[in-house]
Structure 1
Amino acid sequence: MNARRAGYVFGHDGHQMGTEPIEIWDAMIYSAARGMRRPVRQEDSSLARGSAMTTRRSRFTTTLLLLAVVAVVAAILEGGGRFLTRGREQNLMISPHLNWSDVQRFHPDLMWALKPNLDGVVQRVRTPEGTLDSSIETNALGLRNSPIGPKGDRLRILALGDSTTFGAGVNGDETWPAQLQKALDPEDAGLVEVINAGVSGYSAFQGLRYLELYGFDLVPDMVITCFGHNEWSDVLPTQIGDVEWTNSESASGFVLLIEDAIRGAARMIRPKPFGERHQRMTPGEFADTLVRMDDLCRLHGCTLVHLVWPYLSDLRKQPRGDQAGPRALIIGASMYNGTPTISLFDLVAEHSEALFFDEVHMTAEGCRLVADYVAARLGPPVTESLWGQTAERMVRWGEVFERRGDLSSAAGAYRQALQYDAENLPALVHLAEILNEQGDEQALVSVLAKLRELDPEGAYAEIEAHRSPPEG
């Protein structure tokens, strides 16, 4: 029998106290314990549950309020950051009192850019005598240029610069890039296309950004730059330099505020060793930008040429001291990388003050003279620049120079083509024709020997038929 059910209860002296089974005692003890507990009434249980629900609801409401406060604060910081940033960005428009905002727009990567598809918008620039109006037209890419189609086999020159390249104060067909195309391809034979990517107020860094983001998509064979006028202006309303510019549309307003706060705290904790920034670019940043342009052009297989732009004061033999440094930096960066440079100082020395309508910008006639001067000096930069060229491209350059009557540069281009491809038939034919015209019999003999080997009954026979008899 189960001990629990059949056992007996004994006293402390070991005598038997009773014969009731243990389970009866258990039942009695359990009943007594139940009797001592006060029964829980239904209304008490309901109150307890209600209190718990109220507590949970209160906590939930508090959490929602906290989240709402955090969201509102975050929205205020985000909106405030974006408002302050956008406000500063809108102030980037230079000379708004001269209706520049009709021509330019804010650009998240370039700070500002020309508006696309402008048609006959009148732009007004200030001159010592008052104001000067010009008509502005832009293509779908926001360039002061005709629509740009497929490159084909044309040579393409990309002109980068500030208002001197953009052509402030002159019409679109009067800018020096537009007139350079006329000078290089006077018969409009489709040999050359010059694209004007100049924008008023641009610094060299903005030109570099344009080249990186958009310029190389146009597949230029040559890039001509003209900078050094705006880099030394006071810092922009953003209170940062050009090289510190970031695309604010890709960052939150809160992050922008934090960056401003950190930047301000850093200035307080550890002042800059050279003082606060006052110019859009430092001399070192300017030189580094020019060197970087050259590196990128080499990487993309095109030639870079720098223009050194003169001032009216140079023509008056009263050069401005604040321009000596930028010019030295352009020349120094060119020497560092071996970049061709064309200085326009000799040009202005030969002409009157009618070239300029203010201290910096040239008239339509001045731009024409610049274009002719540059066209006449592109020969050596092209024929001596070994990077990024091909035999076909050098033959094309030779044809351009030959049409201009620059036989020396043309012959140099054809010789350069033969360095890339010793059996390039067009280069041999063109070079033989030039040597025959110049009467260079010694050089002609070696070229004809190569032509006889490659095309004895065609090109060789034709040149021999028109060959000038040797002198003596």
Structure 2
Amino acid sequence: MMTWMRLKNAALLLVSLAIAAGAIEGTGRFLANRKERAMLVSSVHLNWTMCHEYDPVLMWRLKPNLKNVPQAYSFKGVMQQWTASTNEHGLRGAPLAPKGGRFRILAIGDSRTYGLGVGDGDTYPVYLQAAFDREQAGSVDVLNAGVPGYTTLQGLQYLRERGMDLEPDLVLVCFAYNDAVEIPAPGIGDCDWENPKASPFGFMSLLKDAVRGAHLDRDPLFSPRTARLRPGEMLDCLIEIRNVCAARGAQALFLAWPALSEMVGEELNQPHYAGIVREAARLAHVPVISLFDVLEIHSDRIFLDDIHLNAEGNRIVADYLAGEIEKLYENGSLSSRTPRPPNTGTPHDPPEDNEAAMARYRKWIAADPSCFMPYEKLDSLLRRRGDTEARIREWRTFTERFPDQARPWFALGHALLAASDLDGAISAYRKAAELDPEDPAKPASIGFALSRKGDIDGSAAAYQAAIQIAPKHPQVRMQFIEMLCGAGRFADARTQLDECRRLGVAIPPELARQVENGKK
């Protein structure tokens, strides 16, 4: 009798547990489905375009193998129509050929890179390809990996999941607009997003929400989210993009693409994050190309709306980028460890001089001679003029006005280096280093100029001085190793490589192999 009662109670307990587990699992699945519908995007409601499909990591992506799919969008109240095609990789454009020996540029970004509002042949990556082809056809591949609506986080995830498998040598990075887009309550942004059905068990979703809701023993650190990415999240993503590229032997190049409203001194409804791009470039030691000036010059005829460009605007941007990329390789801002694209010559639609902008930057420097930004902007305009002597005269004038400021001397050094006046450049760099002894870029620039003169011992000493200031500065370390390899001093290069590994400084695999193989 007692045995029967025990079995009965055990059976009732098992049934009760099964019912409870079923209720928890059902509740978890119900809440997961409801949560998915509340998210920014999900498989439930991703039907807003014929060109996109759901992706469990990226949220959405372009469908592969599309052919002339009709698209339409209203710009300034006028409906614009075009067609879009994608290749087998889901990239807008033609099928992808094997890389071979070509220099490959991968352009990641949002709808500006994708080319919203224009046909397949009128995007800026297509015009950038044409700019390089005019000089040496078939030597460069430019791939368009832009996806409408993407944020910097999605760009980072794309590189990790697929982009780096395309073997790019240079990655152009253009985001900032969608990152600041407002989101409604409950404030689920890109960093909060997850595939709610990734777990086969509904109770796991319930458990995760319970843990999040408990906040453990402290209040939330931040106010409720209002944008897809917080500024700090975007900054972190950009820096990590640089790291992902470096780990695979590629270089990142950031683009600061402002909205039309910024050019007339107005702010968007949501904060615009273009300034974060420049700050991330500074922190990650990544070159950045600002499109502010070139867009401002032509702003009366190239904008479809606040951020998107027509075909002419995309061509102007591409021609400008081609010239700036070549300059970055010439002045050492982009490393010589990868094959460089051919010289593109003078863009066929060069931007006109903007005296008003130059006057504004001169005034800015006079008011705050320690700020780096007006120097970069003014020097960019001077370089675009192509008058090296005028550029030198400009910076000599500022060294005379502000002899105790490092930045004018540093800019003068760059100008003299571009004119192949190596002794003058070294002298200016040394003055800048004397005035700003905490900046490793100053002695590193001395080292670069000395290597151009053939003074390898002096160059090595200058690079060592830069390393003393910032032992873990990846760009300084990379340039030093490249210089040693170029001089045939592979034993010294191996010593530097071993030290980088000991300190945890990432060195591109191709450069490490060059050192280990002892080949130029």
In the alignment, the residues of structure 1 paired with residue 280 and residue 40 of structure 2 have an alpha-carbon distance, to the nearest angstrom, of 33
**Does 2:315 match 1:365?**
no
Contact 2:85 2:93 in 1 (8 A): yes
Q: CA deviation at 1:244?
A: 3.0
Q: Match for 2:237: what amino acid? A: T
In the alignment, the residues of structure 1 paired with residue 271 and residue 31 of structure 2 have an alpha-carbon distance, to the nearest angstrom, of 40
Q: 2:244 aligns with which of 296, 304, 312?
A: 296
State the match for 2:222 in structure 1.
274
**Does 2:15 match 1:65?**
yes
State the match for 1:244 in structure 2.
192
Task: Please say which of residues 198-207 and 347-356 is displaced more in the overlay.
Answer: 347-356
Q: Match for 2:34: what amino acid? A: L
State the match for 1:124 in structure 2.
72
State the match for 2:281 in structure 1.
334
Q: 2:134 aligns with which of 181, 186, 190?
A: 186
**Identical pairs, percent:** 35
Q: Match for 1:243: what amino acid? A: C
In the alignment, the residues of structure 2 paired with residue 89 and residue 246 of structure 1 have an alpha-carbon distance, to the nearest angstrom, of 9
State the match for 2:439 in structure 1.
none
Q: Match for 2:138: what amino acid? A: G
In the alignment, the residues of structure 2 paired with residue 259 and residue 131 of structure 1 have an alpha-carbon distance, to the nearest angstrom, of 45
Total equivalences in the alignment = 362
**Does 2:266 match 1:319?**
yes
RMSD: 3.5
State the match for 2:324 in structure 1.
377
In the alignment, the residues of structure 2 paired with residue 238 and residue 102 of structure 1 have an alpha-carbon distance, to the nearest angstrom, of 28
In the alignment, the residues of structure 2 paired with residue 89 and residue 165 of structure 1 have an alpha-carbon distance, to the nearest angstrom, of 25
What SS does the corresponding residue of 2:159 show, helix, strand or coil? helix
Q: CA deviation at 1:248?
A: 3.4
State the match for 1:215 in structure 2.
163
CA pair 329-53 structure 1, distance change in 2 beyond 3 A:
closer
User: Unaligned regions of 5+ residues in structure 1, if any?
Assistant: 1-50, 424-472
CA pair 239-364 structure 1, distance change in 2 beyond 3 A:
same
Contact 2:261 2:268 in 1 (8 A): no
State the match for 2:502 in structure 1.
none
Contact 1:305 1:381 in 2 (8 A): no
Q: CA deviation at 1:93?
A: 8.7
Deviation track 1:146-166 (CA, whole Å, cap 9, x = no partner) reads 222321100100101111111
State the match for 2:37 in structure 1.
87
User: Unaligned regions of 5+ residues in structure 2, if any?
Assistant: 349-383, 389-417, 421-447, 453-478, 489-520
In the alignment, the residues of structure 1 paired with residue 268 and residue 12 of structure 2 have an alpha-carbon distance, to the nearest angstrom, of 68
Contact 2:103 2:140 in 1 (8 A): yes
State the match for 2:205 in structure 1.
256
Q: Match for 1:329: what amino acid? A: I
CA pair 253-138 structure 1, distance change in 2 beyond 3 A:
farther
TM-score (norm 1): 0.67
What SS does the corresponding residue of 2:72 show, helix, strand or coil? strand
In the alignment, the residues of structure 1 paired with residue 219 and residue 321 of structure 2 have an alpha-carbon distance, to the nearest angstrom, of 46
In the alignment, the residues of structure 1 paired with residue 284 and residue 67 of structure 2 have an alpha-carbon distance, to the nearest angstrom, of 40
State the match for 1:356 in structure 2.
303
Question: Within 5 Å, which residues of 2 pair with 1:228-239?
Answer: 228-235=176-183, 239=187
Q: 1:134 aligns with which of 71, 82, 91?
A: 82
CA pair 140-236 structure 1, distance change in 2 beyond 3 A:
farther
State the match for 2:100 in structure 1.
152
What SS does the corresponding residue of 1:360 show, helix, strand or coil? coil
TM-score (norm 2): 0.62
In the alignment, the residues of structure 1 paired with residue 483 and residue 5 of structure 2 have an alpha-carbon distance, to the nearest angstrom, of 91
Q: 1:165 aligns with which of 109, 113, 118?
A: 113
CA pair 290-91 structure 1, distance change in 2 beyond 3 A:
closer
CA pair 420-196 structure 1, distance change in 2 beyond 3 A:
farther
CA pair 117-89 structure 1, distance change in 2 beyond 3 A:
farther
State the match for 2:375 in structure 1.
none
Q: CA deviation at 1:182?
A: 0.8
**Does 2:172 match 1:224?**
yes
CA pair 127-92 structure 1, distance change in 2 beyond 3 A:
farther
Q: 2:52 aligns with which of 86, 104, 118?
A: 104
In the alignment, the residues of structure 2 paired with residue 179 and residue 133 of structure 1 have an alpha-carbon distance, to the nearest angstrom, of 20
In the alignment, the residues of structure 2 paired with residue 299 and residue 185 of structure 1 have an alpha-carbon distance, to the nearest angstrom, of 29
The structure whose Rg is larger is: 1
In the alignment, the residues of structure 1 paired with residue 270 and residue 131 of structure 2 have an alpha-carbon distance, to the nearest angstrom, of 29
Q: CA deviation at 1:120?
A: 1.7
CA pair 420-189 structure 1, distance change in 2 beyond 3 A:
farther
Contact 1:159 1:197 in 2 (8 A): yes
Contact 1:191 1:400 in 2 (8 A): no
Q: CA deviation at 1:58?
A: 3.7
Deviation track 1:234-270 (CA, whole Å, cap 9, x = no partner) reads 2377732322333434334322222223323329x74
Q: CA deviation at 1:119?
A: 1.6
Q: CA deviation at 1:320?
A: 2.3
Deviation track 1:155-201 (CA, whole Å, cap 9, x = no partner) reads 10010111111111111111111111111113672111111111111
What SS does the corresponding residue of 1:225 show, helix, strand or coil? strand
Contact 2:329 2:335 in 1 (8 A): no
What SS does the corresponding residue of 2:223 show, helix, strand or coil? coil
In the alignment, the residues of structure 2 paired with residue 366 and residue 133 of structure 1 have an alpha-carbon distance, to the nearest angstrom, of 17
CA pair 279-93 structure 1, distance change in 2 beyond 3 A:
farther
In the alignment, the residues of structure 1 paired with residue 347 and residue 266 of structure 2 have an alpha-carbon distance, to the nearest angstrom, of 34
Q: CA deviation at 1:131?
A: 2.4
Q: CA deviation at 1:338?
A: 2.3
In the alignment, the residues of structure 1 paired with residue 282 and residue 40 of structure 2 have an alpha-carbon distance, to the nearest angstrom, of 38
